Structure 1
Amino acid sequence: MVQRKIIITIQVLISFIFSAFAQHTALQVIDTADLKEHLSFIASDELQGRRMGTEAEGLNKAADYLAENAARLGLTPGAPDYFQKVDLLATKKDETNFVEVVDAKGKSKFKAHSMVELRGPDAPKSITNMPAILVGFGEQLPDKDFDGKLVLLAQGTEKSFTNKLFHWNNRMENERLEAIKSKNPEVVLLVTDPDDKTNKIYQQLSRWYGRTRYQLASENTKEEIPVILVLPEVADQLLGGKRKYKKYLQNLVDGEQESLMEVQKRSLNLKIGKKSEVLDAKNVVAVLEGADPELKKECVVLMSHYDHLGLDENGEVYNGADDNGSGTVTIMEMAEAYANLKEKPKRSIVFLWVTGEELGMLGSNYYTQHPIVPLEKTVACFNLDMVGRVFEERDTVWNKSPKRVKDFDGIFALTNDAWPELAKINQKYCEQLDLIPDTTLPAQFLSTSDHYHFHKHSIPIVNYATGYHADYHRISDKVERINFEKMKRVAELCFLVSLEVANRDDIDIHKPEQ
């Protein structure tokens, strides 16, 4: 019996030695020259900042590059040609929308395209001959509802009107709008201050709400009461003449006017809604199949987003070398290390490059809705987002952030509590590689990158990052500032931790929430 135990011990030791040797060989594949070569293309001007809609279609070029590399490594496509189509919808302002004042006979008295939809339908909608009621600053609302009527609400308060404070208080405005909407109007027109000669508030909100909005096409947007910001001239024309709206507000402030006023003889026509376009968006997905007949049905996901910000208003390129070219090519290099393993891991490895992180983490959201391996079989997700920088004195601009970029030995390692053992495994390999993990990031960082969509399904996650630096989301985030030795260390750490997870037998898989 003793002899048998000795033999088993020797066999386990030999297996461990060969496994360690295989890991060491695979680690040698992770090379700074390769990282630099890949990043020099991914973060080049040629790709115009890897954002959808640029003339060069740089995001598609990046996707092609990732897919070609996966094919070269012999990885299995996780979707046709490695591309998981993401149904992405872009909605933007429709310049043909209008607000029109008509008389009792339906004759047009005034028509304007100057309007900002703060809330409302994406699909075009036309409204004709709708009766209107003014409610002043919304301080005295009737007990009855506004069924079938359009309500005009003055932007701001009596105080801001009196003191000429042209300021947008988002919380206050939303509270007033919710009170109005509880009375069930058909539409709310929020009218700017008649003394705001430069249209400060209108211009400000036009910039905020005039931007293109992106969402998954499958996401249902709830029907809600439209809220439209308009200029005072609309209210003037409803009341029958120039400056009558200001007179109404002044009389209200002076106590000479009831706030509620039903408009007589004139009504409103509106065309609202947005223009929508389905975009050619895609995740890139490649798979290394596991070696164990049963465990290969489970997977470990290695993920990064490969999109960035595109061009600035002057046509300068946001190269995004660190954000997130660094994570993108680090996953590429890890894929090569995995492909060179003599003994493949027990579980399958899914290499996932997601799109649309900068637009709202849309690619990772889509993947978790359409995973190539069921989420209940996904044992962990490793997300690499900005892993290529080392602290410089200029980075002290982030001194007030808990995520200021680390020195050469530091790394942020954010985990959730879905499987506490994962943090222990990470700590072990950090010690082996002389890295110092920072695990103190506030819980809010669980929702600030693509790992969020795995975290919300109770899947164990690790988010590796080197931190925020002075070039974050600036055109100065270029390849020349990347520390490739640091990237190599991050790749080695992630490879070793993910490999152990892929080979562990004692993982309690959490089923996703329903």
Structure 2
Amino acid sequence: MMKSVPFNLGRNQFWLVTLVLLSACGPLGPQRVLTEQWSVQQAIRYQEILVDLTSPVMEGRGAGTAGLDLARDYIANDFKRLGLAPAFDYDVNPSFSQPFEINLGPEVHSQALILEDSSVLESGREFNAVGISASDFFEGQAIFVGYGIESKRHTYNSYESLAPEDIDGKIVVVYRFEPQDSTGHSLWSQRDGYGIGRWSRQATFHRKAETAARHGASALLVVNPPSLDSGSKLVSVARSGGLDASIPVIHITSNVFERMLASCTQMSPDIFSKRLQKQADHGNTSVLSLGRIRGHVEIERQQATVSNVAAILTGSGELADEVVVVGAHYDHLGYGGIGSRVHVAQMHPGADDNASGAGALMLLAEMLRAELDHATRRTVLFVAFAGEERGLLGSAYLTKHLGQLGVNAKQIVAMVNMDMIGRLENNRLFVFGTDSGDQWNQLLGNANQSIGLDLHTDGSAQGASDHVHFYNQKIPVLHFFTGAHADYHRPSDTVEKINQVGSMRVLSLVKSLVIELVIQRQRLAFKHDNSIEMRRPTAPSHGAGYLGIMPDYETLHGESGCGVQAVTINGPAHQAGLRENDVIVRWGKNAIGNVYDLTRQLRSSEIGSQVELRVLRSGKPIQLMVKIGSRSK
């Protein structure tokens, strides 16, 4: 075990002293509840785990770092210390770890951009490839086409005045974002109601790149419009990944764009650029030839092996073959990049997200190991998930490979998830998924009687955390969460901001609940909420069009089709006859190799249009006709 560093938590240090005094003073009326739920030693142990998991040697527990491997071993060794059994049965080699491969995202291996006057631009300062960029060489005439948008919905077409031969083989240059009002706000996103924050889907790099490619462009250069000029600040390749474009996509600075404009005008290039934006904002795109340019982009997409960590507290008697799963993800963002809300390479400790939950999982295992001695009880599976920050990948992999645990989904009675439980405020705790099991509200009420938390329950079992994949296996789930805060996905999510006493109270509730799940004879019945939309907020976005499926994220890449993990009742896919475990291999005339291919086609489809799908069902091809729906319906 790693040696803990000195711990100084301000208000939490005060609370630890208070706990010691309370435990020494005997019964103190209502305050006695503080000492009945956990011991001071357990609170100190939780403190040590938090410090260890957020220490610099853990490197923010980022995918692909040695620190994440260290965190994996730290948790596994603690499970072993407790005498728990390794969860994964690899024949003669039982293990606490379940390794799997993930995509770390794009990195620029090499890039170059040379203007017509033979000036070589500085990589990373004057231009930078976008994460979705294809790898290729390009050379040709550069053509400016305003925002580079075609949208029937908005009767807007930047390419309207151009013939196919005007673009074929050329390098298209466009403004970033989309038409704006005088204050710099989108003219479209609020009206549509489906924007990405302040922008509609028309503003994405991918949409612009695929529109340019459809017209025959060999590459796309994107520049911020004058109203939102970021100076020399360029988009990070790591923060701009997602659906792969079919042509190179490069972000250039406004200074580079103005140098290209200089040959087109007698006026100052910066003033000319403002005039061009004003015209484009009003739908009047000026098409300009900006001289010949050449360059290349080479993007590498790295893989890494990460591991779920799991241990078993074996049950006893007639309930021993049934399983209660308790989980928390232990990975975080490392040094930033994908998912970070800041643009600097700095370690993200992830104290609340999710050292708070992972630490509670470890301490809960210790508590239950000591307290569960009932003659008849269910087995408890403790799981620390990896890959959550990359898209719930660890829980997706585990639920797809339950055989490695020696169980099937029908044996799992319930799944309890702790994700971000370290910032309890005003005694308020959020609990999601209460409609997924017929006894959840009663069990929660009973467990909370002696703790007195202000429970804010939500029936929905969907959301951006690991319980979702268990719900999709028709398993009752709960997700415990103390709330969002300004430090989320920032380097400032540090251990001294954890409300340790609050976390221990949440853990006490979870412990009481899990004990009841383990020993009660009656099993929870799964309930499906038909109003729940099967989607994952961290998944590749499906734009305005809506199918109503949860893709199988094991088919995120590859060429074998997009698997269907779940289907929303009465959604477009369900009405078309699509089923769980189907594999979509063709969208109209276009082959579907993976989740990204399906998302690309859905993004380019009009709401209300009909598309013929070719689907493999148990290996046999069938044809289905689906009508594209809208999320607003």
What TM-score do you get using the length of structure 2 for normalisation?
0.58
Cα displacement (A) at 1:70: 0.8
Match of 2:544 in 1: none
- Give the Cα separation in 1 of the matches to 2:278 and 2:489: 46
Match of 1:333 in 2: 363
Match of 2:299 in 1: 274
Match of 1:127 in 2: 137
Which residues in structure 2 correspond to 1:124-203 (within 5 Å)? 125-130=135-140, 133-138=143-148, 139-142=158-161, 145=164, 148-155=168-175, 170-171=199-200, 173-174=203-204, 177=208, 180-181=211-212, 183-192=214-223, 200-201=229-230, 203=232
Is 2:40 the counterpart of 1:50?
no
Q: Deviations over 1:223-265 (max 9, x none)?
A: 545543335787788899586895997699899x9945678xx
Amino acid at match of 1:115: F
Cα displacement (A) at 1:93: 3.7
Match of 1:453 in 2: 469
Cα displacement (A) at 1:152: 1.9
Is 2:416 the counterpart of 1:382?
yes
Cα displacement (A) at 1:333: 1.9
Is 2:87 the counterpart of 1:78?
yes
Which residues in structure 2 correspond to 1:169-318 (within 5 Å)? 170-171=199-200, 173-174=203-204, 177=208, 180-181=211-212, 183-192=214-223, 200-201=229-230, 203-204=232-233, 206-207=234-235, 209-211=236-238, 224-231=246-253, 241=263, 259-260=286-287, 268-291=293-316, 296-310=320-334, 318=348
SS at match of 1:343: coil
Cα displacement (A) at 1:475: 5.5
Which residues in structure 2 correspond to 1:104-123 (within 5 Å)? 109-112=118-121, 113=123, 114-118=126-130, 120-121=132-133
Match of 2:76 in 1: 67
Q: Any conservation in 2 of the 1:287–1:348 contact (CA below 8 Å)?
A: yes
- Give the Cα separation in 2 of the matches to 1:325 and 1:354: 12
The count of residues paired between Structure 1 and Structure 2 equals 449
SS at match of 1:434: coil
- Give the Cα separation in 1 of the matches to 2:478 and 2:199: 35
Cα displacement (A) at 1:69: 1.1
Change (3 A) 1:156 1:297: same
What TM-score do you get using the length of structure 1 for normalisation?
0.69
Q: Deviations over 1:387-429 (max 9, x none)?
A: 2444xxxxxxxxxxxxxx232xx42222253323223211222
- Give the Cα separation in 2 of the matches to 1:158 and 1:32: 52
- Give the Cα separation in 1 of the matches to 2:463 and 2:458: 15
Name the % identity.
Answer: 26
Amino acid at match of 1:89: N
Q: Deviations over 1:82-113 (max 9, x none)?
A: 122131222344152123457xxxxx945434
SS at match of 1:96: strand
Cα displacement (A) at 1:461: 1.6
Q: Any conservation in 1 of the 2:38–2:504 contact (CA below 8 Å)?
A: no
Is 2:429 the counterpart of 1:411?
yes
- Give the Cα separation in 1 of the matches to 2:360 and 2:142: 59
5+ residue gaps, structure 2, are 1-35, 89-93, 149-157, 188-197, 337-342, 529-564, 567-579, 581-633
Cα displacement (A) at 1:290: 3.3
Q: Deviations over 1:316-370 (max 9, x none)?
A: 8654443322211211122123323223664432211122434444433433343
* Bigger Rg, which one: 1
Q: Any conservation in 1 of the 2:222–2:249 contact (CA below 8 Å)?
A: no
Change (3 A) 1:308 1:222: closer
- Give the Cα separation in 2 of the matches to 1:331 and 1:430: 19
Cα displacement (A) at 1:469: 5.3
Q: Any conservation in 1 of the 2:170–2:217 contact (CA below 8 Å)?
A: yes
- Give the Cα separation in 1 of the matches to 2:524 and 2:335: 44
Match of 2:399 in 1: 368
Q: Any conservation in 1 of the 2:326–2:380 contact (CA below 8 Å)?
A: yes
- Give the Cα separation in 1 of the matches to 2:106 and 2:306: 17
Change (3 A) 1:406 1:203: farther
- Give the Cα separation in 2 of the matches to 1:87 and 1:471: 29
Amino acid at match of 2:326: L
Q: Deviations over 1:475-499 (max 9, x none)?
A: 6655555454433332232123223
Q: Any conservation in 2 of the 1:214–1:359 contact (CA below 8 Å)?
A: no
SS at match of 1:329: helix
Is 2:503 the counterpart of 1:487?
yes
Cα displacement (A) at 1:178: 7.5
- Give the Cα separation in 2 of the matches to 1:492 and 1:73: 19
Change (3 A) 1:478 1:233: closer
Amino acid at match of 2:237: G
SS at match of 1:97: strand
- Give the Cα separation in 2 of the matches to 1:425 and 1:357: 28
Which segment drifts farther, 419-428 or 304-313? Answer: 304-313
Amino acid at match of 2:332: H
Match 1:90 to one of 92, 97, 104 = 104
Cα displacement (A) at 1:66: 0.9
Match of 1:395 in 2: none
Change (3 A) 1:239 1:466: closer
Q: Any conservation in 1 of the 2:335–2:345 contact (CA below 8 Å)?
A: yes
Change (3 A) 1:425 1:167: closer
Q: Deviations over 1:426-446 (max 9, x none)?
A: 1222124433321159x5x94
Amino acid at match of 1:85: P
Which residues in structure 2 correspond to 1:21-36 (within 5 Å)? 31-36=42-47
Match 2:524 to one of 503, 507, 510 = 507
Q: Whose relative contact order is higher, 1 or 2, with alpha carbons under 8 Å and at least 6 apart?
A: 1
